[in-house]
Chain A
Amino acid sequence: MGKAKRHARFSVTIDATRPGETILMPEGDWLKQMQIPRIGDLALPRDTKALVLDGTHIRNWDTMLLAFITRLEQYAESNTITFEVVNVPLGLKRLLDLTKSTSNKLQPPEREPESFLTALGNKTLQVFKSFASVNRFVGELVLTLLKFHVGLARTRWSDIWRQIALAGHMALPLISMIGFLIGLILAFIGSIPLKMFGAEIFVASLVGIGILRLMGPVMVGVVMAGRTGAAYAAELGSMNANDEIEAYRAMGLSPMETLVLPRFLALCFVLPPLCIYADLLGLAGGMAVGIFYSGLNRTEFLRQLSATTSLNDLFVGIFSGFVFGVLIAICGCYQGIRCKKNSTAVGQAATSAVVASLICMVIATTIITILCVILKI
């Protein structure tokens, strides 16, 4: 709070000839930087029936005095005291009138505070509603895809290419680095127990199966969820806040066709090649460890790799990557499109998009893995 504030001065007088009437006279300066009295500090007589604020001795004032008078007014009203303001500076009078002027006033709509039970009920309904709205979104997306397939959707190829460029080759540097390092780490960790059994050669198999089936696509998925999924949510969310999405709707264009589909197709299209790229770099990382740390030679490593991994491993990985692309695009676009119109909501949409993508990816990986075990792929 800092230094003590000067007190605003005032005097209270009672008019003996008129019982029940109290005259309150603010004196000198009444400004924001001063200590303004509370109602209790005024020590108004108990039997006050009429309160008069006389502004004859006011020197400097600002809107703090206005707030004080408004407070008095409310106090008078709740205690059935009549209240009157006299001899105040002209400007103050005009502002007082303005705060009460009805010609200027807008009527706020009624808003009932909700009880705990209502709030609980609404929250529960919200959960069901959000399920329904995800379903509707996915359904709409499928319909739009069908429309696109038969050439009826108003989706521009130029948009799709742009999104592919944004999501695809611009992610290559990041994926190169992470891919190589993950291969390296996997090989290092694997070679520790394998060394104990003198079976270092199996590092090749470990890296091969691990990267191709799981680590490659998961890594790409995580990078894309953080990089592209969040961007989709933030971009569409702020477009929504600026009525840009409504602008499409108003022209009879579906935002599904103009905004969501290009992003969806772009992600489905770029994820598989990115997976292959990450696989190659991951294998290179693993091979580097195999050669320089475990002392294998290159032909040995490659022979072991091709003997113990099959094309199926690669295909399962690519398929997972494709599924991740679908999920990330859906999570990102859905969060963006349904985002509320304020800046906090845009931030939340981006966060939710990433979190939802990661959860969906883990669940999808589990399902794919179990299916592969059952189907012996």
Chain B
Amino acid sequence: MTPPKSPSNPPHEPPPIEVRDVTLSYGQRIIQDKLTFTVKKGATFIIMGGSGCGKSTLLRHLIGLHKPAAGTILRDGHDLWNCDMKTQHKIRQASGTMFQSGGLWSSMNLAENVAFPLQEYTNLNPREIKELCQVKLALVGLAGFENFYPAELSGGMQKRAGIARAMALDPKILFLDEPSAGLDPISARRLDELIIELRESLHTTIVVVTHELQSIFTIATDAIFLDSATHTMTAQGHPRQILQDTTDQNLIDFLTRGTGKTDRQQAI
């Protein structure tokens, strides 16, 4: 696998996500502050950072589930919290999300889970929907599991199914919260390959939350690092570039598993 190159956003087209001076908080407690970055079209954008630094929280804000305490988040040039219902609806439909705990509907089997958004948002006939579900499940390696319920699957399989459901409508943006956490190395690598494949064949913009170094260096075209001590982002760019340029000890420890700057090359 050759590492993907960072794409350049097409000119005269607003980037899929633009974050300007955003503060995330739960009530009075500030989780992250002064976040400013852009996700370019076709990028695989990684949000990295230690546990509890606010990665999932940021993702929820990008998706538009929470309103930022300050600052603006633009999706395709529109502020989700300050635009008409129709635009809001359109933008939400154009994205797919896999939640950290899967978020599969436990009372439906996998085929029904994937079919649900198709039934709601397209006017395909039942047979076409069934075929599309089969294809989506086959893409994530779950062909033949149509009739299984989420509770009957392992954690890794649930994650894959979550991705299949997120991809149901061929979204322009895919949000994945820790897709490879808790997977065995081989499954994790296949998931990385799948993500690269989706990006390159369907030109999907993918925002991934992860703290798996292997994934970070394999799939990223762009990344930010959220620091839990200073409550802000301390780096932005391609992970390799970040590792070469930075002098921030927290970040070096994170990217080298705490072995320090001298081992940088080895870590990569």
Closest Cβ–Cβ distance, residue B39 to chain A (whole Å): 21
In the bound complex, do residue A344 and residue B190 qualify as a contact, i.e. CB atoms below 8 Å apart? no
- Taken together as a complex, chains A and B put the C-alpha atoms of A2 and B202 apart, in Å, by 28
- Taken together as a complex, chains A and B put the C-alpha atoms of A66 and B148 apart, in Å, by 23
Closest Cβ–Cβ distance, residue A228 to chain B (whole Å): 25
In the bound complex, do residue A32 and residue B122 qualify as a contact, i.e. CB atoms below 8 Å apart? yes
In the bound complex, do residue A94 and residue B197 qualify as a contact, i.e. CB atoms below 8 Å apart? yes
**Known A2-B123, A341-B106; contact A63-B151, beta-carbon cutoff 8 A:** no
Closest Cβ–Cβ distance, residue A59 to chain B (whole Å): 14
**11 A-B pairs whose Cβ atoms sit less than 8 Å apart in the complex:** A5-B123, A62-B202, A64-B132, A67-B131, A67-B132, A90-B201, A91-B201, A98-B138, A105-B141, A106-B145, A111-B147
The answer to the question of B139 belonging to the interface, with a C-beta cut-off of 8 Å to chain A, is yes
* Chain B interface residues (CB < 8 Å from chain A): 105-107, 122-124, 128, 131-132, 134-136, 138-139, 141-145, 147-151, 157, 167, 169-170, 190, 193-194, 197, 200-203
Most-contacted residue by chain A among B106, B124, B135 (CB, 10 A): B135
Q: Which residue of B106, B151, B202 is within 8 Å of A95 (Cβ)?
A: B202
The answer to the question of A343 belonging to the interface, with a C-beta cut-off of 8 Å to chain B, is yes
In the bound complex, do residue B145 and residue A108 qualify as a contact, i.e. CB atoms below 8 Å apart? yes
- Taken together as a complex, chains A and B put the C-alpha atoms of A28 and B134 apart, in Å, by 24
- Taken together as a complex, chains A and B put the C-alpha atoms of A94 and B193 apart, in Å, by 11
- Which chain A residues lie closer than 8 Å to B197 at the CB level? 94-95, 98
- Taken together as a complex, chains A and B put the C-alpha atoms of A5 and B144 apart, in Å, by 31
The answer to the question of A71 belonging to the interface, with a C-beta cut-off of 8 Å to chain B, is yes
- Taken together as a complex, chains A and B put the C-alpha atoms of A95 and B131 apart, in Å, by 15
- Taken together as a complex, chains A and B put the C-alpha atoms of A139 and B132 apart, in Å, by 51
In the bound complex, do residue B107 and residue A99 qualify as a contact, i.e. CB atoms below 8 Å apart? no
- Which chain B residues lie closer than 8 Å to A103 at the CB level? 190
Q: Which residue of A36, A92, A111, A341 is within 8 Å of B201 (Cβ)?
A: A92
- Which chain B residues lie closer than 8 Å to A2 at the CB level? 123
Interface residues of A in 49-87 (CB under 8 A from B): 62-64, 66-68, 70-71
Q: Which residue of B107, B123, B143, B147 is within 8 Å of A105 (Cβ)?
A: B143
The answer to the question of A33 belonging to the interface, with a C-beta cut-off of 8 Å to chain B, is yes
Closest Cβ–Cβ distance, residue B60 to chain A (whole Å): 21
CB-based nearest A residue for B122? A32
**Known A32-B124, A95-B202, A105-B141; contact A340-B151, beta-carbon cutoff 8 A:** yes
The answer to the question of A104 belonging to the interface, with a C-beta cut-off of 8 Å to chain B, is yes
Minimum-distance CB pairs A-B, first 9: A91-B201, A342-B106, A108-B144, A344-B107, A99-B138, A341-B151, A104-B141, A67-B131, A62-B170
The answer to the question of A150 belonging to the interface, with a C-beta cut-off of 8 Å to chain B, is no
Q: Which residue of B142, B167, B201 is within 8 Å of A94 (Cβ)?
A: B201
The answer to the question of A311 belonging to the interface, with a C-beta cut-off of 8 Å to chain B, is no
The answer to the question of A170 belonging to the interface, with a C-beta cut-off of 8 Å to chain B, is no
> Given known contacts A32-B169, A95-B202, A241-B106, what 14 new A-B pairs fall within 8 Å (CB)?
A32-B124, A63-B136, A67-B131, A91-B201, A95-B139, A95-B197, A99-B138, A104-B141, A106-B141, A341-B106, A341-B151, A342-B106, A342-B107, A342-B150
In the bound complex, do residue A1 and residue B123 qualify as a contact, i.e. CB atoms below 8 Å apart? yes
- Taken together as a complex, chains A and B put the C-alpha atoms of A48 and B124 apart, in Å, by 29
- Which chain B residues lie closer than 8 Å to A98 at the CB level? 138-139, 194, 197
Interface residues of A in 102-117 (CB under 8 A from B): 103-108, 111
In the bound complex, do residue A343 and residue B157 qualify as a contact, i.e. CB atoms below 8 Å apart? no
When each residue 12-45 of chain A gets 1 if its CB lies under 8 Å from chain B and 0 otherwise, what string results?
0000000000000000000011001000000000
Closest Cβ–Cβ distance, residue A349 to chain B (whole Å): 13
CB-based nearest A residue for B136? A63
In the bound complex, do residue A99 and residue B170 qualify as a contact, i.e. CB atoms below 8 Å apart? no
In the bound complex, do residue B139 and residue A108 qualify as a contact, i.e. CB atoms below 8 Å apart? no
- Which chain A residues lie closer than 8 Å to B145 at the CB level? 106, 108
- Which chain B residues lie closer than 8 Å to A92 at the CB level? 201
CB-based nearest A residue for B140? A104
- Which chain A residues lie closer than 8 Å to B201 at the CB level? 90-92, 94-95
- Which chain A residues lie closer than 8 Å to B106 at the CB level? 241, 341-344
- Which chain B residues lie closer than 8 Å to A105 at the CB level? 138, 141, 143
- Taken together as a complex, chains A and B put the C-alpha atoms of A33 and B123 apart, in Å, by 7
In the bound complex, do residue A70 and residue B134 qualify as a contact, i.e. CB atoms below 8 Å apart? yes
In the bound complex, do residue A32 and residue B131 qualify as a contact, i.e. CB atoms below 8 Å apart? no
- Taken together as a complex, chains A and B put the C-alpha atoms of A104 and B144 apart, in Å, by 13
In the bound complex, do residue B131 and residue A71 qualify as a contact, i.e. CB atoms below 8 Å apart? yes
